[in-house]
Amino acid sequence: MWPIKFISSSIGKKIIMAVSGLLLILFLCTHALGNAAIFVSSHAFQTYANALHSLPVVVLLFGLGLLVILLFHIGFGINLFLQNRAAGGNRYAINTRVVKNSFASKTMPYTGLLILLFIIIHVFGFNNGPADMEVSQLVKEYLSNFFYSLFYIFSFCALALHLSHGFWSMLQTFGINHPRYNNGIAKLTLIVPAFFLVFFGAIALYFMSGLGASY
């Protein structure tokens, strides 16, 4: 069966990581788009949330899809990590990295796990808020908490770090590597993570700093 063969091959696994990574990035984009409403007003945001929840089937399917993608990404990520530790690992008395800026690539599993922790807290928090509170209020409630916000910002940093290797790596896995475009790709690999960090970070800061008080 080719799909089994494919996902058990080294490159197949990489491609699963890249595809799921890409889908997660796309999800983050839509998520960011929706959340942009926060900066307009609490009303705008609530309208958006209500519109979303008037389509429970879509939300369910979307959520399930996301969960599957995430599970794939996490599952294969951990599998790769374990396999690679067995094949490589710390096998020299002196381990020297020749490539500069290899921090992000070295820490992919760890930044990934941080993101996972964040996702759990984030999803759990917003699904288990007080029943009578509207989502727009909940956001304010949570994020006005200094430490809660700090954790969010910290997690976004982890995400940015994850993507500062992941974005380029994903394109490389898809076979996109060409001298003519590599400069552009390198720039994008800074811009994309920076965008998510700034955008999501700004939401947290918005409330954390008290600017969101009038929201």
Partner 1 sequence: MSDIDLNLQIWRQKKSDSPGAFETYALDKISTEMSFLEMLDVLNEKLTKQGLDPVAFDHDCREGICGMCGTVVNGVAHGPEKEVTLCQLHMRNFKDGDTLVIEPFRSRAFPIRKDLLIDRSAFDRIIQSGGYVSVNTGGTPDGNAIPIPAQTAELAMDAAACIGCGACVASCPNGAAMLFTSAKVSQLCLLPQGQTERKQRALDMVATMDKEGFGNCTNERECEAVCPKSISIRNIARLNREYLMAALSEG
Binding residues for partner 1, per CB under 8 A?
Answer: 2, 5-6, 9-15, 80, 83-84, 86-88, 91-99, 102, 105-106, 108, 165, 168-169, 172-179
For the CB of residue 13, give the shortest distance to ligand HEM in the complex, in Å: 7
Look at residue 97 and give the partner it binds from ligand HEM, partner 1, none, a contact being a CB closer than 5 to 8 Å depending on partner kind. Answer: partner 1
d(CA 201, CA 209): 12
Q: Considering only residues 113, 135, 194, 205, which one is a binding residue for ligand HEM as defined by CB under 6 A?
A: 113
Q: Considering only residues 18, 139, 204, 208, which one is a binding residue for ligand HEM as defined by CB under 6 A?
A: 18
Query: CA dihedral in degrees (45, 198, 145, 33; nearest 10)?
Result: 20
Instruction: Tell whether residue 112 is a contact of ligand HEM (CB under 6 A).
Output: yes
Could you give the angle at the alpha carbon of 36 between the alpha carbons of 108 and 136, nearest 5°?
100
Instruction: Tell whether residue 108 is a contact of ligand HEM (CB under 6 A).
Output: yes
**How far, in Å, are 29, 69, 107, 129 from residue 19 at the CA level?**
15, 9, 20, 33
For the CB of residue 211, give the shortest distance to ligand HEM in the complex, in Å: 26
Residues 6+ apart with CB under 8 A from 22: 170
Q: Which two tokens stand for residue 150?
A: 């700090």
Instruction: Classify the phi-psi angles of 89: left when phi > 0, otherwise alpha if psi is within -120 to 50, otherwise beta.
Output: left
Look at residue 115 and give the partner it binds from partner 1, ligand HEM, none, a contact being a CB closer than 5 to 8 Å depending on partner kind. Answer: ligand HEM
d(CA 160, CA 155): 9
By beta-carbon proximity to ligand HEM, the closer residue of 139 and 158 is 158
Q: Which helix (H) or strand (E) holds 77?
A: helix 56-87
Instruction: Count other Cβ atoms within 10 Å, centred on residue 164.
Output: 21
Instruction: Tell whether residue 153 is a contact of ligand HEM (CB under 6 A).
Output: no
Look at residue 74 and give the partner it binds from partner 1, ligand HEM, none, a contact being a CB closer than 5 to 8 Å depending on partner kind. Answer: ligand HEM
For the CB of residue 81, give the shortest distance to partner 1 in the complex, in Å: 9
- DSSP assignment of 194-209, as one string? HHHHHHHHHHHHHHHT
Q: Write the interaction track for ligand HEM spanning residues 40-79; mark x where CB under 6 A is met and - where it is not.
A: ---------------------------------xx--xx-
Residues that bind ligand HEM in the complex, under the rule CB under 6 A: 14, 17-18, 21, 24-25, 28, 73-74, 77-78, 80-81, 108-109, 112-113, 115-116, 162, 166-167, 169-170, 173
